[in-house]
Amino acid sequence: MPTNTFRSETKVPLPGSERKALSAATPASTPHTTLHTTPGNITVSVLVRRKQPIDPATFAPGQHLDHATFDTRHGADPAAVEAVQAFASEYGLTAAPATDLGRRTIHLTGTQQQLEEAFGVQLHPHKFGTQTCRTRQGSIHIPETLSPHITAVLGLDDRPQAKAHFRIATPHASNVSYTPVQVAELYGFPTNSATGQTIGLIELGGGFAQADITAYFQSLKLTPPKVTAVLVDGGTNSPGDPNGADGEVMLDIEVAGAVAPGAAIAVYFCPNTDAGFLDAITTAVHDTTNKPGVLSISWGGPESSWTQQAMTAMDDAFQAAAALGISVTVAAGDNGSSDGVSSGNHVDFPASSPHVLACGGTKLVGSGATITSEVVWNEQASNEGATGGGVSTIFAKPTYQSSANVPAPTTSAGGRGVPDVAGNADPSTGYEVRVDGQTMVIGGTSAVAPLWAGLLTLANAANKTSAGLANTALYAASEAATFHDITSGNNGSFAATKGWDACTGLGSPVGPAVIAALKTGK
């Protein structure tokens, strides 16, 4: 390859990489100020093209691929890897070896000035609360001949990307609370063991202490699950703030572990950036050591807060999960139909990906195995949240929703309805959990994603097969038999109605019927 071949080329915008100018952030200093904890070093994640596109036929039970076959068919294109490595060398960047071809990720490391030159950007420090981050605006630019090889470049901008979708209950005399086991009983979950299964949790902060896990599960008279921390991109298992991300981590572990007893849990800790989030997901999807069969994600943000390249890359990772037989459950958000945006209706991503099971929230009242009342979670009048839901402006309506009564999208590209399913989420009927030595009651759609992850894990164990992308089977199932149809309440702009709706999807689960719907006849 001739010397300086990339430097001599015209640079073109990387499709989908545009970032809008910040309006609310406060400048902290000037460009080229050292921004990273390791002076002079910044690492970015470069996603390269696949050898060949993923065939949706592999999403179906019985058609899933093993990791070796997936990597052979759909791993990183060797020509793309070679091109990125040559590009890195020319700009003085260090390219980490591309050892996991399924992830298609090459990490490039260099100084701020080297990366600015290589990718045609300017990085500026901005404060988000007490955190100083790198930000950019406009598009990333890459040499024209490199453009066909690269699908995303993430990590140049390391602003916080997502929020945890949990709500700590505000004390009210009318509140009730449940253990996860009691919620599972109300939904008829079987008490069968999920031994041999692994649930993966994606966490963008916080941590867990084994002593809390042991004490909590002993209080439920359950054997504590084996919990493994997997650290991604410098992420850490750092407990210490019961009102912060620790609440999310412990809620996820305790709900998933309690409703799917016997399952192991792998917790993937990563930085709260678009690069960290994606890298954690791809690490989990291609983890042949822990082998999670279901992933639960309780973090997200409005579609409008993401770059198109990040959403496309993450949706692509969820397609890989579906092809490998891995189910992904995602919280639909806790800020009603606006998703916390000042105007208009918005849905949360990654819940809006058509290749995940989006989980909305209800207010559940009952005792034992009897549900007395279940309505849409909406406590916005007291500033205590409401289930997310609505229609994507980015992702088209998937085939499995063709018969669902999804409202018309506001963009020609959109149409995917959110959520798919629901479960107890109102903090006023929340979950009793233990966080940093304290007993707390927590709700939010953050609780629904691990609840459904536990149910899918029970299904995988009982059916002796992987559900993978469960959406197709669930939408095809008898709705009356498989779900508690929620017909009362709203999340702001959308009201519950008979059948699917943009508050609670198909409804909350009838455990045994869900498991039966996911069975492939084996």
pLDDT at 421: 98
Task: Name the H helices within 31-165.
Answer: 67-74, 78-90, 112-119
Q: Determine contact, residues 491/375, Cβ cutoff 8 Å.
A: no
pLDDT single digits (tens) 223-271: 999 999 999 999 999 999 999 999 999 999 999 999 999 999 999 999 9
Mean pLDDT taken over the chain: 94
Percent of the chain with pLDDT over 70: 95
The pTM of the whole model exceeds 0.85: yes
pLDDT single digits (tens) 417-460: 999 999 999 999 999 999 999 999 999 999 999 999 999 999 99
Integer Cα distance of 113 and 239 in angstroms: 35
First to last CA, the chain: 54
| 163-517: CATH architecture | 3-Layer(aba) Sandwich (3.40)
Q: With 90 as the cut, is the pLDDT of residue 4 above it?
A: no
pLDDT at 99: 82
String of DSSP letters for 132-143: EEEE--B--EEE
Integer Cα distance of 397 and 415 in angstroms: 4
Please give the positions annotated as active site: 248, 252, 446
Q: With 60 as the cut, is the pLDDT of residue 502 above it?
A: yes
Q: With 80 as the cut, is the pLDDT of residue 67 above it?
A: yes
**E-only strand ranges, 3-111:** 11-13, 26-27, 42-48, 94-95, 105-110
pLDDT, mean of residues 264-291: 98
Q: How many CB atoms lie within 10 A of CB 97?
A: 9
List the chain domain ranges: 11-154, 163-517
pLDDT at 521: 38
Q: Tell me the three-class secondary structure of 284-298, residue by residue.
A: HHCCCCCCCCEEEEC
